[in-house]
Structure 1
Amino acid sequence: MNRRKFIATIGTAAAGASATVGTGAFTSVSADRSVSVQVADDADAFLAMTPSNGPNGEFAETTGDGTIALALTDTDAGGSGLGTDSVYEFDDVFRITNQGTQPVYAWATFAGASGDFTPNGTNTDIYLYPNGDSDDQLQDSDEDVLYLGVGQSAQIGVYVDTTDVTTDQDLTMTVNADVENPASGATVGGGGTTIPGPTNGLVSYWPLDSVGDGTAEDIVGTNDGALNGGVSAVSGEVDGAAAFDGSDDYVNVPDDPSLDLTGALTLAAWVKPSSDQDNYARILSREQSGAGNRQYNLGVDADATDPRTVVDTAGANGVEVSATVTFTDDSWHHAALTFDTSDAVRLYIDGTEEDSTPVNAPLVSRSSTVKFGAPAHLPGKDFFTGRIDDVRIYDRALSATEVSDLYGDTN
């Protein structure tokens, strides 16, 4: 039986160039490029790549110049290559981490194939996939891209199909990262979860599907939340959700600079508010006590019936936006708040804008946790009763079309 050798070298697509970038913020980076950049070892770059600690990590090696090379050849157990006319899936070969200052989309392309080996396109014989799911082909516009929040990592696997391949292959792999989404396919989070709806500017996303495991996982950022009281796992509008009893239940997300948003933001969540609701109950809150300290929140009004928000800007206290729509009716509703310092605070319910108030100054900046189901600053009151699902925070104001798309994509 013939044995095949596949070598994919990351960071040598352009002579003398690395797949990584040195210090400073970046908007787009590719290993195959003509611009002049300062380079760093793969482990230290903004898009860091390191061999896995798992058993398949032996197929990734750090070269003398600090870059990663994939060598699907000899193994420690005595193997000498890949068998012909076979399909291989190597989970968790190396890890990729966003060490930059912005969320990015990542994907890979291959070049240098010979014979009948196809390196790209819909019938590709080799591609990367994240977190053990080979259905997620990280291939630019042809298939999927990986969304990585700042500080987030993913396990990267390698798929190889050797059908009809009769020659050894020496390939070059180009790993790309961009703040803009290039793909027409699905967007996959670093945790392996497909992210429906807009993803540009998505700072944190809590699907609340992992509540049964004792945590509210942020699958695009690093802002995991802790459960307090008796928050429980229930069915949601989008897979699982969290249930809050209105007495002492809430999710607490620690203070983090990524959540200290003042110039523009979007808050969004699916909620099923109970008709037995406290007045001023909070769905999501980052604020301190008293006028002048309400950075952002989303909840219900004094009558415990209508959706409402009150925020404080550098120019005005008590900027209120509310909607006179059926809300606390034991039914699922999508609630979204957008803020743009040069435009307005806008409140959307079920994909439709219900009210807005003009603003011309940024939100106040306050040190605070973020809480789901309770105010961030008032212990023992204004608890939310009902279910909360699919919570998101963006660092920009989504347009009306994007809010409508988010509602439709997750409904």
Structure 2
Amino acid sequence: MKRRQLLLGLSAVVSSSAAVVGSGAFSAVEAERQLKIDVVADKDAYLTFEDISNYAVVNDGVIELQFDGQSPPLTEGNGLGPESVYEFSDVLFVQNNGNQEVELFSKYDGESVSDIHLTQSTDVNSSMGGKNQILTENNPSEPLGPGDAFNIGIVIDTAGMSPGTVNTTLDIVATSAQSE
């Protein structure tokens, strides 16, 4: 009889302990926290962009790329021709000022231009023989460690475009190299 009482007593203690501890699971949380955010010029951000070509112009600390013949001293041309693919090397300098490796790529979701991509120069001895590598989500840049930097270029495809001025946006994405 004492054995049964002891087992029942232990069972009650274990059951009540489990109820107190619980599983820790929850279905939703809303929490308000204070944030301090410093918005700085592109050249001072965690991911730095600096203009190193005549195609890059800084307006209010933000880099803009212009291929309209207005940024001297370019050439005698006034812009990009239709039904063409243009590749510009070494347009921007990018540096990782964060604390972890990142990989860089671009996304273009606009409809104004047929296609736009960032590029990264590859080593002359690589399988690509020193050509520029197009940076996409499935084919990002080599990991860029803290303090590391490289120059990036851009490829612009004007297929289906008529002469005129186009204003569009290219998303430059940096993701943690460890997140894969």
Q: Shorter-normalised TM-score: what interval?
A: 0.5 to 0.7
Paired amino acid for 1:140: E
In structure 1, distance between residues paired with 2:141 and 2:178? 8
Number of the residue aligned with 2:111: 113
Cross-structure match for 1:224: none
Query: Contact (CA 8 Å) 1:84, 1:164: kept in 2 or not?
Result: yes
Letter of the aligned partner of 2:46 in structure 1? F
* C-alpha displacement of 1:168: 3.5
Partner of 2:19: none
Give the aligned partner of residue 170 of structure 1.
167
Contact 1:88 1:160 in 2 (8 A): yes
Which of the two has greater helix per residue? 2
Amino acid corresponding to residue 64 of structure 2 in structure 1:
A
Aligned residue in 1 for 2:85: 87
Amino acid at match of 2:67: L
Q: Distance in 2 between matches of 1:97 and 1:150?
A: 8
Could you give the per-residue CA deviations for residues 206-244 of structure 1, whole angstroms, max 9, x where no partner exists?
A: xxxxxxxxxxxxxxxxxxxxxxxxxxxxxxxxxxxxxxx
CA change 1:44–1:165 in 2 (3 A) is same
Secondary structure of 1:170's aligned partner: coil
Quote the residue 2:62 is aligned against.
Answer: 67
Q: Which of these two proteins has the greater Rg computed from alpha carbons?
A: 2
| Aligned mates of 2:41, 2:153 — CA distance in 1 | 21
Q: SS of the counterpart of 1:175?
A: strand
Instruction: Tell me which stretches of 4 or more aligned residues in structure 1 moved more than 6 Å.
Output: none
Question: In the alignment, is the contact (CA less than 8 A) between 2:117 and 2:156 conserved in 1?
Answer: yes
- 2:125 matched to 1:148? no
Report how far residue 148 of structure 1 moved. 0.4
Report the counterpart of residue 134 of structure 2 in structure 1. Answer: 137
CA distance in 1, matches of 2:111, 2:176: 29
1:163 Cα deviation after fit:
2.2
Secondary structure, aligned partner of 2:135:
coil
Aligned match of 2:118: 128
The separation in 1 between residues aligned to 2:87 and 2:37, in whole angstroms, is 34
More strand by share: 1
Q: Structure 1: which 5+ runs fail to align? A: 1-34, 119-124, 183-199, 201-411
Instruction: State how many pairs are aligned.
Output: 135
User: Structure 1, residues 259-297: CA drift from partner, whole Å, max 9, x if none?
Assistant: xxxxxxxxxxxxxxxxxxxxxxxxxxxxxxxxxxxxxxx
Whether contact under 8 Å (2:86, 2:157) holds in the other structure is: yes
2:109 and 2:177 mapped to 1: Cα distance? Answer: 23
* 2:56–2:66 contact (8 Å) kept in structure 1: yes
Counterpart secondary structure, 2:43: helix
Give the Cα–Cα distance (whole angstroms) in 2 for the partners of residues 43 and 144 of structure 1.
22
* Matched residue SS, 1:94: strand
CA RMSD of aligned residues (A): 2.4
Q: TM-score, normalised by structure 2?
A: 0.66
Tell me by how many angstroms 1:89 deviates.
Answer: 0.8
Question: Higher RCO, 1 or 2 (CA under 8 Å, sep at least 6)?
Answer: 2
Q: TM-score, normalised by structure 1?
A: 0.30
Q: CA deviation at 1:112?
A: 3.2
Percent of paired sites with the same residue? 29
Deviation at 1:172, TM superposition (A): 1.0
Name the SS for the 1:108 alignment partner. Answer: strand
CA positional deviation for 1:42 = 0.5
Q: Is the 8 A contact 2:120 2:141 kept in 1?
A: no
